[in-house]
Amino acid sequence: MSDALDRECHCLLCEQPPKRWWRSAERSLPARERRNSRLVREYGWGVTGVLGTTMPDWAYSIGLWHSYGSVEVCLLGLPQQRAMLAVNEVGALVRDGLTLTPDLTLAGVIEEGELVLAPVHDSWYEHLFGAAIDYYQRPPFPMAQLLWPDEAGRYPGDSGQPSLWLPIDEHPGSVWTSASAAR
């Protein structure tokens, strides 16, 4: 879904001050950005889980673009901890050499069935991926949605997950398009 050779990365690690100032500069960052920077430095990526209050839970990666030239991934509509585990599992597959491509099918990541990758329209970023925006400081950083099947095996089905490839203003009204979604 991306070409690591043609990528720009504006993350906190790529656009940091000179190394001798990094320690003091890092201390001035908000806790969330310090945490994400540390996870990306130490492990290559981190996972942010969002516990939905007015909408279902979701999780997404931060750092796959920086570390591996891979799209970031998100999984929406499953309980937070399960979504975080699945996103982390996909991160490990990327670390181990998997290239994420459009319509790729991933078996064995979640119990519900195979995951399928779909692109995410950039109109969803501010609505759902605030911690990634704060880490990357500005686009571009590509994001792909991990779609999971409903009980009838349909993608995305009526399982509570949105169709993030659609622009947010063209998406059918749902809890995902409401103004109450938090970054």
Average pLDDT score over residue span 30-36: 80
Tens digits of per-residue pLDDT, 144-182? 999 998 888 888 755 678 999 999 999 988 888 875 454
* 60-103 per-position pLDDT tens digit: 999 999 999 999 999 999 999 999 999 999 999 999 999 999 88
pLDDT of residue 109: 94
Domain boundaries, the chain: 4-177
- What's the confidence (pLDDT) of residue 2? 42
For 40-100, give the DSSP string: HHHHS-EEEEE--SSS--EEEEESHHHHHSPPEEEEESS-HHHHHHHHHHHHHHHHTTPPP
| Inter-CA distances, 45 with 10, 51, 64, 132, 140, Å | 15, 20, 6, 11, 17
